[in-house]
Amino acid sequence: MCSIGWLPSADWFTVRRKIKEGKEKWCSQLKHQYSVAANMSSGGEFVEGWLVAQVLGEGSYGEVRLLVHSRSGANVALKAVQGDVGAREAGLHRALRHPNVLRCLGERRHNGMHYLFLEYAQGGELFDRIEPDVGMGETAARQYWRQLIAGLQYLHTRGVAHRDIKPENLLLDNAQTLKISDFGMATLFRVGTRERLMTRVCGTEPYAAPEVLSAAKKGYRAQPADLWAAALVLLAMLAGELPWERASREETRFVAWCTWIEQNGTCPSGPWRKLTPGALNLLRKTLNSDPDRRPTLDMLQRHHWLNEQQDDIDSKDRESERAWSSQPCAAGEQLSDTDMDELLSYSQPAHTDDLLLEAADGTQSTQGSGPGALLQRLVRRMTRVFVRCNEQEALRTLADALSTRGYTYRHLQPKLMAIECGEVKMRAWAVRVCGSGGDGGGVMVEFRRSRGCGLAFKRRYKELREALRSIAIPQPVTPYEDLLAPVTPRDCRMETA
């Protein structure tokens, strides 16, 4: 054993005791995190009365899970964030109240983890409505962008910069109300009348303004940077593609765009030629490389394109509405104060209950108000395929298609795969669903993005959907899934693709 000669013996024993105490504390935290991971991955209870259900989203922080109240059927989203990062995000997010900002309903801290309880937006992510290389109808894009601008204007009046606006961070509820979400990169840029410059390079590169990418050399103002990202969201909605990988002088497509703004001439090729004159005019004003020359949000709200009225939706909008005909219904739409008190007051997550696991496995009746009755119409998502075979055969067919295309995959468990298609990472989950109106349902293979650009993910999904065409069947009438069906074994820790 090494000795530390300069420490008196009494101090050395103190050090050893502190090390032992620290090790025990670390082991306790690790055990807690393992327990929470196991419960959250098995359809268990987060706290008494609140059941952990399906994965809603993934990111560098981990997963966002759906929590369902076993008695009332109320639901919230649960996001777990480490330490100080979670404290800062929760403190900022809880102060925000606006129809176009996802609500933070509360928070809990336990063993270095921050649990954020968020409003559940059942319509899914905005990027799920964008068809790659096509986009969506102009009427729908205008409706969503109006709401995005309204939400951003509220944030900026509160002195909050979001700093990661993109379709993946914009959610929709059942009424098609857009909700700005994920405040992990958000910060205060103004307190009172004092405004500070941003100096951090952050956000998602294709949506980042040029001044953000060069922040190491010079600070930038927060509002024009958020507006730049919002403009690229609009372009993605209208054209189904992004104009460049990075807004820098090394990117030829970005240089061509800047040249056209400064010198007029011929409109550059690419997504710009898919736009109507009004939309192109708005984006030309907004996507100016000089942040001081970009319009303010007030000016944009008066732009003629944003205020056009159309009584009838165009064909692309009608097709989109048909594609989304499977409306999700809430397992319980009213979240009472008592329900929330249960989430916020318990000292630690509960242990998984065996009866609950039996219900999740379908061994208990689905009638009545017990956990087994918690079936919910599928959350709106276009990245799924219904097939006529069982779950294992569906994933075998998918695995063959992946191998043929040179994509890599691994089985996280018998019905769950992690897939890598270049820079895009996703998960494929095979699950049995039931239908209404006499429809027996079937098996659904759902693809969910883990990493990478949402539009690139949709392109890979379309490729894999085509590969499954030989076993595909029409979507059942009003498909339902069991929210509590376990995705990973109760003794398996969550893995990230």
Give tens-digit pLDDT for 47-57: 777 788 777 77
Taking the CA of residue 3 as centre, how many other CA atoms within 13 Å lie in the half-sphere pointing to its CB? 5
To the question of whether residue 462 is assigned a binding role by annotation, the answer is no
Q: Tell me how far apart the alpha carbons of residues 307 and 146 are, in angstroms, rounded to a whole number.
A: 9
Q: pLDDT-based confidence at 134, cuts 50/70/90?
A: very high
Domain boundaries, the chain: 1-122+341-362, 124-322, 379-478
Which letter does DSSP use for residue 135 in this model?
B
Is the pLDDT at 34 greater than 60? The verdict is no
Q: Does the active-site annotation cover 491?
A: no
Is the pLDDT at 200 greater than 50? The verdict is yes
Which of 482, 478, 486, 484 is closest to 376 using CA atoms? Answer: 482
CATH number of 1-122+341-362: 3.30.200.20
The more confident residue out of 16 and 238 is: 238
Q: Which of 29-43, 145-159, 448-462 has the lowest mean pLDDT?
A: 29-43
Which of 236, 229, 226, 225 is closest to 290 using CA atoms? Answer: 225
Is the pLDDT at 488 greater than 80? The verdict is no
| Predicted pLDDT at 125 | 87
Long-range CB pairs of 462-466, under 8 A, 24+ apart, other chains included: 462/132, 463/405, 464/398, 464/401, 464/402, 464/428, 465/385
| Predicted pLDDT at 214 | 92
Taking the CA of residue 356 as centre, how many other CA atoms within 13 Å lie in the half-sphere pointing to its CB? 27
Q: pLDDT-based confidence at 199, cuts 50/70/90?
A: very high
The number of residues making up the chain comes to: 497
Please list, in sequence order, all residues whose beta carbon lies within 8 angstroms of the beta carbon of residue 200, skipping any fewer than 6 positions away.
Answer: 163, 215
| Predicted pLDDT at 343 | 55
Q: pLDDT-based confidence at 311, cuts 50/70/90?
A: very low
Q: Which of 25-39, 60-74, 192-206, 432-446 has the lowest mean pLDDT?
A: 25-39
Show the tokens assigned to 440.
Answer: 């027996």
Q: pLDDT-based confidence at 219, cuts 50/70/90?
A: very high
Element (DSSP H or E) covering residue 319: helix 315-323
| Predicted pLDDT at 338 | 56
- Residue in this structure with the two tokens 């997010």, named with its chain if needed: 93
Show the tokens assigned to 492.
Answer: 């398996």
Give me the chain's average pLDDT, please: 76
pLDDT single digits (tens) 466-476 = 999 999 988 77
Q: In terms of C-beta density within 10 A (0-12 exposed, 13-18 middle, 19 or more buried), how is residue 183 classed?
A: buried
**Looking at residues 125-154, what average pLDDT do you find?**
94
Q: Tell me how far apart the alpha carbons of residues 348 and 36 are, in angstroms, rounded to a whole number.
A: 9
CB atoms within 10 A of CB 6: 7
Is the pLDDT at 5 greater than 60? The verdict is no
Q: pLDDT-based confidence at 337, cuts 50/70/90?
A: low
Show the tokens assigned to 484.
Answer: 């509590």
Is the pLDDT at 169 greater than 80? The verdict is yes
Domain 379-478 matching CATH 3.40.50.2300: the answer reads no
Q: Tell me how far apart the alpha carbons of residues 454 and 467 are, in angstroms, rounded to a whole number.
A: 20
| Predicted pLDDT at 126 | 92
Q: Which of 128, 164, 173, 226 is catalytic?
A: 164
Strands 124-125 and 170-172: antiparallel
Strand partners of residue 188: 160
Question: 124-322 with 379-478: one CATH topology?
Answer: no
Q: May I ask the CATH architecture of the domain 124-322?
A: Orthogonal Bundle (1.10)
pTM listed for this prediction: 0.73
Q: pLDDT-based confidence at 450, cuts 50/70/90?
A: confident
The more confident residue out of 183 and 452 is: 183
pLDDT single digits (tens) 55-81 = 777 766 667 888 888 777 788 899 988
Q: pLDDT-based confidence at 357, cuts 50/70/90?
A: very low
Which of 316, 278, 319 is closest to 139 using CA atoms? Answer: 316
| Predicted pLDDT at 381 | 64
Q: Answer yes or no: are the C-beta atoms of 74 and 336 closer than 8 Å.
A: yes
